[in-house]
Amino acid sequence: MSEMRIDPNLVGIWLLPGQPQTYEITETGDYLIGEPEEPLQFEDGSRSMTWGARRFRRADKYGIGLIGTWIEEGTGDAWDFADGQALTILTAQETLITGVWALRDQGRCLWHCEKRATVQTDGAHLEFRFLAGDTARYGYTVTGDVLSLLDPASWTELTRYVSSSLYLETVAS
């Protein structure tokens, strides 16, 4: 690809209608996925935790509450929840993922958002470079509050994102 940059029209929070996640593209080209908040519960003196359908065990011996490193029982991934709401995940495949977290609903729910890729554009194409090592390339258009990803060979629309601001205006009306 020739001269890659970020199209300023891509910067913002995007939604795929019918999906609960948010998709954010930052000015620096970070691609983040925000998952919906899920119920959080601590057991066994804060040595184990259930978050949504996932179970975790505390990696360090001591700790109270969320702060610290947790091992996800189903995957072996290490999740480190730091003061200041920084999140670091080291997957079992040794992919390092960063993000942010927040407790919601008076500490009964946990929300998180992870950096999954970087994106760049050349004016006609949008390229995702995923942290896991693979790359995806699409044609794209941004018309107002709609981002369309296009097949780079046929230029047919594959998916359509809507701006979160457009969605919030629609819901409020």
pTM: 0.84
Q: Any bridge partners for residue 33, and if so which?
A: 23, 114
DSSP-based three-state secondary structure for 95: coil
Is residue 110 within 8 A of residue 42, CB to CB? The reply is no
Query: The tokens of 77 are what?
Result: 């991934």
Question: Shortest CA distance to 68 belongs to which of 76, 101, 60?
Answer: 60
Task: Give yes or no for a contact between 134 and 117, defined as CB atoms under 8 angstroms apart.
Answer: no
Tens-place pLDDT, residues 123-156: 899 999 999 899 999 999 999 899 999 999 999 9
Q: Which of 109, 89, 84, 110 is nearest to 99 (CA)?
A: 89
CB within 8 Å of 38: residues ≥ 6 apart:
51, 52, 53, 109, 110, 111
Confidence of residue 164 (pLDDT cuts 50, 70, 90): confident
Q: What digits encode the pLDDT tens for the residues 24-60?
A: 999 999 999 999 999 999 998 889 999 999 999 999 8
C-alpha torsion sign, points 85, 126, 150, 144: positive
Dig out the tokens for 142 from the structure. 């941004």
Say if residues 105 and 14 touch (Cβ distance below 8 Å).
Answer: no
